[in-house]
Structure 1
């Protein structure tokens, strides 16, 4: 957040103007010049340039034919201005045929440059975090043990098949966040009551996190999924909610037995022009977490929001369809739609 400097006043004195002599010619101000790029070309550079231009104009031709657009002739311009000019012209022409230019990308795929239609599944600004401390507490409660075992199968599916990151794994984003807060806690004052509570919650997050991961790692929970679902008996509204979530998860598992939520994650190779626009990764807002209540999580959530505010965009499931003159089919986000709905419903059950 920007803050105003105290006791600062604006300097009203204008700086001394610097200009050329009044007799200097200013006719060049009415002209435009392309910047000159000096480089020593090699044989390899020449081959790469020719291949890039050939791929670009072939894909441009397919694009123009697909959308009935007449493009500007830019081949006589030097590289890379010919490509930049072609892109600029195409953007204007796409607007004229009422298409959204932002839905198209020029990407490099298998060393080939081509135009693609980009379709995204919008995830919004939610953190899809599944707390496991409430699941552990349900397992210890005889009244809810049946519910807990059913939800254990659901979480095991998310862990093994959907590839939802687990916060106790060192390669996960939340592992680093928890570690950062542990360092901060260790540097705190032992006598402070808040620090004692942070240490208690952090110890719980590690101990229970490791215990639940051992259970999730056991694939018996996947093997027993259908049997647990078949023998589940509903007596309360909570039972019905658990059964509904488990049924949806099992149906998703049955239809997509090997599908990861990261199947359509955009990569730098797919979108090389997004390097300067740092994006929030999908593995940063999808994860298992210790708990979503308490002082520790409040601080973790605050840290995450502060970090996310520094990013320019967010990674979302994305499908790139090559524009090659054939009919473009609409992207299928059935799995993503059902997955994120499942995550929301499971979160509601675990955080009543």
Structure 2
């Protein structure tokens, strides 16, 4: 179950297809004849009738024609096809070994059906064994032919926003203070190591949205909006100071081992902290953006970068996910995202050519997004006693 804040981003697509304009070929006009053809006048005498020899009809069977492949151009094409097939199968076996798959034997089929059949077979098998598989592509250039695979983590239409106002309230709750300290260590890991953006940082996407609402509040004299903005600023600064201290990481294990669960909420906090500490131990330097796709350029669209939903836009710490202020922020986010066509997600591209094959996977991303989801759920459902 996905507990993080959700919204539908509309119909977006991963790739854009450039529109091409057909070029009309030049029409060659047929020149008219200068003079009309004259008919031959019939003569008085008929010409001598000539009959075809009886064996002439079988003459074509005695002729020898060279096969088309014997021409220099066809021989060159045949060599090129043979190299393409050789490169393809070398790449195919590397891909099959990487994903521990037994490929179908297709060499006895004719070209290019053998290649198409191999790719169809491999796509079906990789899809069954790798939940993050996206597609397999055949790449050809002037020198070689090889396969590439793309693995992508599907984030869905979820805003992975971690509210810190509930964490602040928990720190002032005598019954849940130990829970709060445990979750502060979790958030400190996300802040320092996983590199989750914080909404009080000027470079963050949410900082710009809060500033925009601050301007609106001043123009419209909206007291309720001003109050929530002031709270978001004050609490945001206080919690950031706590998260900034690396002592939270130093005492992470000690807090985890000394925590005693008394009820369901305690157990949820403890489990979240266990998962975070495991990630911190196994991937001590990994960030959420380690497999963020590199921005592509669309030559047909100058505003291509403005149509991308970057990962930093839907992953962040936030003041709160309740109240009038958040409803307005969420509305702005939905309006902006609905105008975008591409959503960035953790992606790994592997080339099966002569280079070394990347052993990177999406295990870290899978665990981290699950952690963000669970942490958001606990904080959003925390109630002061």
Normalising by structure 2, we get a TM-score of 0.63
Q: CA deviation at 1:138?
A: 0.4
* Match of residue 275, structure 2, among 248, 251, 260: 248
Deviations 1:168-206 (A, max 9, x none): 001111111111111111111x3xxxx211111000000
The answer (yes or no) to whether the contact 1:65–1:325 under 8 Å persists in 2 is no
The answer (yes or no) to whether the contact 2:191–2:197 under 8 Å persists in 1 is yes
Q: 1:249–1:309: structure 2 CA closer, same or farther, 3 Å change rule?
A: same
Written as runs of structure 1 = structure 2, the 5 A alignment for 1:154-233 is: 154-188=186-220, 190=221, 195-233=222-260
Mapped partners of 1:272, 1:313: distance in 2: 12
SS of aligned partner of 2:256: helix
Mapped partners of 2:218, 2:146: distance in 1: 52
The answer (yes or no) to whether the contact 2:209–2:329 under 8 Å persists in 1 is yes
Written as runs of structure 1 = structure 2, the 5 A alignment for 1:1-352 is: 28=27, 62-63=87-88, 65-67=90-92, 94=116, 97-98=119-120, 102-104=135-137, 116-188=148-220, 190=221, 195-268=222-295, 271-272=296-297, 276=301, 278-324=307-353, 332-352=361-381
Mapped partners of 2:164, 2:84: distance in 1: 49
SS of aligned partner of 2:176: helix
The match for 2:61 is none
The answer (yes or no) to whether the contact 2:92–2:147 under 8 Å persists in 1 is no
Mapped partners of 1:172, 1:302: distance in 2: 18
Mapped partners of 1:197, 1:265: distance in 2: 38
Q: 1:160–1:95: structure 2 CA closer, same or farther, 3 Å change rule?
A: farther
SS of aligned partner of 1:170: coil
Mapped partners of 1:59, 1:179: distance in 2: 57
SS of aligned partner of 1:116: strand
Q: In the comparison of the two structures, how many residue pairs are matched?
A: 268
SS of aligned partner of 1:234: coil
Mapped partners of 2:342, 2:370: distance in 1: 22
Q: CA deviation at 1:328?
A: 6.4
SS of aligned partner of 2:166: helix
Q: 1:117–1:205: structure 2 CA closer, same or farther, 3 Å change rule?
A: same
Q: Give the number of the structure whose alpha-carbon radius of gyration is greater.
A: 2
The answer (yes or no) to whether the contact 1:106–1:116 under 8 Å persists in 2 is yes
The answer (yes or no) to whether the contact 2:161–2:314 under 8 Å persists in 1 is yes
Deviations 1:243-290 (A, max 9, x none): 01111111111111111111101112xx45698553211111110000
Mapped partners of 1:198, 1:28: distance in 2: 69
Deviations 1:311-332 (A, max 9, x none): 1111111111112068967752
Unaligned residue ranges in structure 2 (runs of 5+): 1-24, 29-82, 94-110, 124-133
Q: 1:246–1:310: structure 2 CA closer, same or farther, 3 Å change rule?
A: same
Mapped partners of 1:177, 1:115: distance in 2: 43
Normalising by structure 1, we get a TM-score of 0.68
Mapped partners of 2:85, 2:231: distance in 1: 58
Q: CA deviation at 1:97?
A: 3.1
Q: 1:244–1:93: structure 2 CA closer, same or farther, 3 Å change rule?
A: same
Q: 1:165–1:93: structure 2 CA closer, same or farther, 3 Å change rule?
A: same
